[in-house]
Amino acid sequence: MKRIGYLGPPGTFSEEAARRHRGNGEGELVACASLEEVFARLETGLLEEGVVPVENSSEGAVSVVLDMLAAHPELTVRGEVVMQVVHSLLVPPGVKLEMVEKVLSHPQAFAQCRTFLRQKLAGVELQECASTAAAAALAARCRRPWAALAPLSAASRYNLQVLIPAANDCPHNKTRFWALGRKRVLSPVPPCKTSLIFGVRHRPGALYRVLREFAIREINLTRIESRPSKKGLGDYIFFLDFEGAAGDPVVKEMLDVLTEEHTTTLRVLGSYHVEQE
């Protein structure tokens, strides 16, 4: 059976995303201790797929994931899951808001609840954990008035009480997850998106020339992101998503033009089915 890794322990947003990615198909969900571990296990073949967060509607790119993806040329994007992310403030039974001494969570959750924390828990210590569910598990076993920002569903799993059901600052907080793997999806079911990583030469209009190829073919871009190439200050690689599949004749022809004329490197991360929003 296919093994699908995610940032564990059970009860994380990533687990929910991995479950949705699996759908009604077969697959064993495997909890990993960190995102690095998901990538390491994909590399060694211990996992066939790994579901990782790539982008949040309020915090932007999950840069550590983009950087690890750039460093693993064997990996492809096989699918996408977009999830509504609601952070709940969970506490051991009997703990009231004014008793809370420490809040535990994943750094992304702290960032998405910044205003809430400042207004309702000003001055309370924050402790970063490997994931939201790791935070819930620690709050449950520490025997201290410590709270966790975690998915609502983590409350029953870890015997915690829900103090505040929705603590995120933006009500429309969404996170995009990618399912990564080593095998490409060859004929993804439409509607599809395709994701690329590319580099350009340092010259006037270099990025414009790339984007122009999309514009003249009326290909809709859905995201562009730059990350340092790590080769030196001022040197970047670009992550770009667009609507369509790499196998579509127009897209195929455009990718050839980009490779031959406008980029220094171009890697097609993959084409994958997307849910219509």
- Which residues are the active-site residues? 175, 177
Pairing of strands 28-32, 3-7: parallel
Cβ–Cβ under 8 Å, residues 77 and 178: yes
Taking CB under 6 A as the criterion, the residue among 53, 79, 188, 244 binding ligand PPY is 53
Nearer Cβ to ligand PPY (174/273): 174
| 7: contact with ligand PPY by CB under 6 A | yes
Other Cβ atoms less than 10 A from the Cβ of 171: the count is: 8
Nearer Cβ to ligand PPY (12/194): 12
Handedness of CA 158, 86, 68, 74 (dihedral sign): positive
Nearer Cβ to ligand PPY (106/193): 106
| 76: contact with ligand PPY by CB under 6 A | no
Nearer Cβ to ligand PPY (109/246): 109
What is the three-class DSSP state of 87?
coil
Taking CB under 6 A as the criterion, the residue among 76, 88, 132, 195 binding ligand PPY is 132
Other Cβ atoms less than 10 A from the Cβ of 175: the count is: 22
Q: What is the DSSP letter of 188?
A: P
Q: How far apart are CA 201 and CA 219, in angstroms?
A: 23
First-to-last alpha carbon distance for the chain, in angstroms, is 30
CB 173 to ligand PPY: min, Å: 8
Residue carrying the six token digits 């599949």? 245
| 106: contact with ligand PPY by CB under 6 A | yes
| 188: contact with ligand PPY by CB under 6 A | no
80 phi and psi, to 5 degrees?
-135, 140
CB 65 to ligand PPY: min, Å: 10
Taking CB under 6 A as the criterion, the residue among 88, 168, 175, 271 binding ligand PPY is 175
| 168: contact with ligand PPY by CB under 6 A | no
Binding residues for ligand PPY (CB under 6 A): 7, 12-14, 53, 85, 106, 108-109, 131-133, 175
